Chain A
Amino acid sequence: MKHGNIVIKVILVLAALVMAILPVAAALASETLPSPTPASTVAPSVQQPKRLNNLKTRGASEIDRRLDQLQKALDKVQTGTKLPDKTKKELVNQLQTEVTALTTLKSKLSSDTDLAASRTDVQKIIDDYRVYGLLLPKARIIATTDRFYLADEHLQLLRASLQHQINLAKQQGKNVTKLEKSQANLIKRLASARTHYKGLPDKLIKLPVTDYAASHKILTTSAAELKAARTDFGVAEDEAKKILNSLRSLK
């Protein structure tokens, strides 16, 4: 009983102390907490030119990057030797049209005087000119197809030289079973590669830019076709090297 009375008394004392301290603490806190930062005192008319300049600078930089890549793609297409003239001419025309339009946009952006107009123009770089998503990969795939045709010509000459030597070795009574098997595999791989890259320029030259998702998918598939063709070429080259090494050992 005596113990319980002491506990009650302690609790009461503590409660009283808390009740006494709380208001004081509150008073102290209100005096020492930092006051919220007042609103900026810099006028909006000073901030806006800075933002406008930033946007114009970044926009011009993005346009320059695209123009640089488009010019490189244009050079690749123009140095091609195996594309049909009609396809080459049309692709060059598309690239040059894009370059002209972006150059005009850059000029307009640099002359914009308000933030809203510059925002609109900068957005156009992405929305109206699908350079990285559509036009550049299209031009690169078509230019690369031209190089595939050229590589195929060299591979055909190699195949003919190999066949000639295999026939000679056979006439000399040498065992050419493995050589003929490798040669057959080489021919099969060249035919397979051709099915991947042949027809791509015709398929892509009229690719619409209006349906971004569908065109993007076609380009992704076409890029995969070229990679498969390159793999076939690589295997054909390995077979050619095997035949060459065998012929050297037969001499």
Chain B
Amino acid sequence: MPDINPTSQPLAPGQPSATPTAPQPQPPSPDPNTVLAPTPVSSLPDVGEGYHKIATAILAILLVVAVAIAVWQFVPWPHADTPQPAPSLSTVKIETSLEQVEAAFDDLDANMIGIDPALTDTQGNLSE
């Protein structure tokens, strides 16, 4: 069919159409006084189920811990009556103490020099 408008040119890419288009139907403007109808539950995201799962998991863990503690406390272990082996002999602490004693003796001996009183107080040459 021939073009009605003989002067129409083919549109370049990006060039807006010269033919006026029919106005699109406008959505009704919201009336602030209108109460919106609640959205159906089936269309909401399922948040409650996630929290429910986490809570269940926490409770399960706590239950397991409580049982474990009860078992540890009240069930007698088979090795409870087995005598513990005596700690092995160690002379490290004795050696350290002995070193400290020897250092104290060195100080003591240094201080004992001169404890004997002189026979007289005349020491040195006091002649004219």
Chain A residues within CB distance 8 Å of chain B: 51, 54-55, 58-59, 61-62, 65, 76, 115, 119, 122, 125-127, 129-134, 136-137, 140-141, 143-144, 147-148, 150-151, 154-155, 157-158, 161-162, 164-165, 168-169, 171-172, 216, 219-220, 222-223, 226-227, 230, 233, 237, 240-241, 243-244, 247-248, 250-251
- Interface bin, chain B: 35 or more
Known: A226-B115, A240-B98, A251-B89. A54 touches B122 (CB 8 A): no
Verify B114–A136 contact, CB threshold 8 A: yes
A140 to B118, CA, bound (A): 13
A120 → chain B closest CB, angstroms: 12
Interface hit among B34-42, B74-82, B103-111: B103-111
Q: Which of the listed residues A115, A141, A151 has the most CB atoms from chain B within 10 Å of its own CB?
A: A151
A158 to B97, CA, bound (A): 5
B39 → chain A closest CB, angstroms: 79
Q: Which residues of B contact A154 (CB under 8 A)?
A: 97, 100-101, 104
- Residue in B94, B117, B118, B127 whose CB lies within 8 Å of A161: B94
Verify B123–A157 contact, CB threshold 8 A: no
Verify B101–A240 contact, CB threshold 8 A: yes
Q: Which residues of A contact B49 (CB under 8 A)?
A: none
Chain B residues within CB distance 8 Å of chain A: 86-91, 93-95, 97-98, 100-102, 104-105, 107-109, 111-128
Q: Which residues of A contact B90 (CB under 8 A)?
A: 165
List 30 A-B pairs, Cβ < 8 Å: A55-B126, A62-B124, A115-B128, A125-B126, A129-B121, A132-B117, A132-B120, A133-B117, A133-B118, A137-B115, A140-B114, A141-B115, A147-B104, A147-B108, A150-B104, A151-B107, A154-B97, A154-B104, A158-B94, A158-B98, A161-B93, A161-B97, A165-B89, A165-B94, A168-B86, A223-B115, A226-B115, A237-B102, A247-B91, A251-B91
B65 → chain A closest CB, angstroms: 39
Verify A134–B122 contact, CB threshold 8 A: no
Q: Which residues of A contact B126 (CB under 8 A)?
A: 55, 58-59, 62, 122, 125-126
